[in-house]
Structure 1
Amino acid sequence: MASSRDRQRKLARAKLDRQMARRAARVRRRRQIQAGIGAALVLALIVVGSAWALGAFDSDPKQNTAADEVCLWTPQDATGNTNLKDVGTPATTGLPTEGTRAMTVTTNQGAPITASLDLASAPCAAASIAHLASRSFYDNTKCHEITAEGALRCGDPSGTGLGGPTYSFFDENVPTVPEPAPSASPAPGQPPAYPKGTVAMIANPPGANGSQFLLFFKDFNPAKPVYPIIGKVTGGLDVLEKIGALPTVDNGNGAKVKPKTDVVVQSLTVGEPATGASAPAPTGSGAPASPAAN
């Protein structure tokens, strides 16, 4: 009996030893795996840290475009103003902010009037006019006013002064006029805020620009400028001056500003952006003289 019990004890001991050995082996394998994972994590952190220090994760500077940082197209409620026309909104990315764009206004009054839109000073106005022109927004519309300031007002399909697209945008390039010192006379030879040939936006209310613009056929120098300058006439200034000399009649609101002869914009087109040389000076009969000569 004693030998049988001893044999059983030995077998049980051997079984326990095997179990302990397997457990120890599993623990060793687990520790090896954990050590390997830890080493891999440390190595990965070292690599990532080195890459970060060398600037591998620095993002490229974003391009400074009008849509990303300048332009904001504010929706206008067409239900409250039936004079608004929905033709969508301009693009919000990739808008040019350098150089110029050529604008051509063909009317029923003679040769086309050409202008250069300033993309650096008024990128949103240029983008808006180009968008509207691509939708034939201006075609076959009337220039409804010859203003007392000496400008032809166009761009409102309704002819009321209240029309435009279903969006608006803020002023960009309103000129500033230095306030004169007390008892001081104006500086001799100071150029006007709006020289003859200036192209500017006009809005009602001011600051909510849409589609309406002014083509100045006379110098205008107000005490407080409010019209954003967007470009200048480069051709057909003589045609513009001829239009400015047309007689006017009551526009229905008590103001004698409506051209007696209809001035119809048959088409308005805007060319592709151009960079490099600055826009040429206005041309045509009656081109504006240099400021020094005024």
Structure 2
Amino acid sequence: MATNQQRREAAKRKLERQLARRAERAKRRRIVGVGVTVGAVVVVAGLVVILATRGDDSAAEDTGADPGSTQGSAPESTPIEIPTERVAAPQRPEPLPDPTTCEYPESGEAAKEVDPPSGGEVPASGTVPVTLKSSVGDIPLELDRALAPCTVHSFVNLAEQGFYTDTTCHRISTEGLQMLQCGDPKGDGTGGPGYSFADETFEGLTYGRGILAMANSGPDTNGSQFFMVYGEAPLPPDYTVFGTISDSGLDVIDEVARAGHDNSSQAGGGTPHTDVTFTEVTVGGN
């Protein structure tokens, strides 16, 4: 039979076990509580990130800014659609006299010192290969004297004097009219060679992927600026076509077009995001 002392010791041990179990349960509750707190913080932080990200996307969509512009963060622009089929090179309904007489009267101040081409009779048959070596790759061209003998004569003259070397293509358009415009040493669309010459257009002239044509500011105001069509070009027949662009050259221009522009031109398009600078222009076969 247990004595009072033994009963007290047993009761003490029982109480100690109960206190130990309570302490263990309390410890587990504290650990679980911290875990729940951490989990809550993670969830809240995740919600904050999600909400913040959604907010950024909404703001970006509202700006409509092109990638790389100074208007702030924005989504990438919708990829432009570029036709893959080049158009056939135009042909004159009636051949020009061969040779043809050309004139290059003075017109404004030259953006870069250059001698005007010799006037008089120039050949109106045959082609001239030209390569625009640029910061983004070579753009081979084929100039057609039968289409525009005076234009080809002027372009070759400028190229051989280095007029186009170190000039940039100042404008690209990606919607409606899809073309890259170049040939101005000033880089803003206002420069020329200090002379002009007449249009060499004809009825039924159309434009499209692969066509090389002269830019102008009205009838018979051709100078040094030209444009290379890489896609659609719903233009009236007011721009002299003087050659074509090679497939490899079109690939180079396509990449420039896909990089977009800064929307800075009131005429449509803007300065290309990808710089296109001519490092050298080579002429052969003339």
- TM-score bin (small chain): 0.5 to 0.7
**How far is the alpha carbon of 1:194 from its aligned partner?**
0.9
CA shift for structure 1 position 171: 0.7
Determine if the alignment matches structure 1 residue 91 to structure 2 residue 118. Answer: yes
Q: Do structure 1's residue 197 and structure 2's residue 205 form an aligned pair?
A: no
Q: 229, 235, 243: which one pairs with 1:216?
A: 229
C-alpha separation between the residues in 1 aligned to 2:259 and 2:99? 42
- Structure 2: gaps spanning 5 or more residues: 1-96
Question: Residue 232 in 1 paired to residue 239 in 2?
Answer: no
> Cα RMSD (Å) of the superposition?
2.2
Structure 1 unaligned regions, length at least 5 = 1-62, 178-192, 274-294
Instruction: Name the TM-score, length of structure 2 as normaliser.
Output: 0.60
Q: CA deviation at 1:94?
A: 5.3
Distance (whole Å) between structure 1 residues aligned to residue 267 and residue 226 of structure 2: 22
Q: Identity rate of aligned residues, in percent?
A: 34
Match of 2:275 among 234, 250, 262: 262
Matched, 1:251 2:284: no
1:117 lines up with 2:143 in the alignment? yes
Q: TM-score, normalised by structure 1?
A: 0.59
For residues 209 and 263 of structure 2, what CA distance do their matches in structure 1 show?
25
Displacement of 1:239 in angstroms is 1.0
Equivalence for 2:155:
129
1:122–1:266 distance in 2 versus 1, CA, 3 Å: same
Residue identity opposite 2:213 in structure 1: A
Name the CA distance, whole Å, in 2 between partners of 1:254 and 1:99. 34
Which whole-Å deviations, capped at 9, do the CAs of 1:72-128 have from their partners, x for residues lacking one?
1011132xxxx6333111122452211100111111113x11111110110111100
Query: What's the counterpart of residue 166 of structure 1?
Result: 194
Q: Tell me the SS of whatever aligns to 1:209.
A: coil
Tell me, in whole angstroms, the C-alpha distance in 1 between the residues paired with 2:189 and 2:208: 23
Residue 65 of structure 1 is matched in structure 2 by: 99
- The aligned counterpart of 2:43 is none
After TM superposition, where is structure 1 displaced by more than 4 Å over at least 4 residues in a row? 252-256
CA distance in 1: counterparts of 2:146 and 2:267, whole angstroms: 39
Count of matched residue pairs: 187
Following TM superposition, by how much is the alpha carbon of 1:174 offset from its aligned partner in structure 2, in angstroms? Answer: 4.7
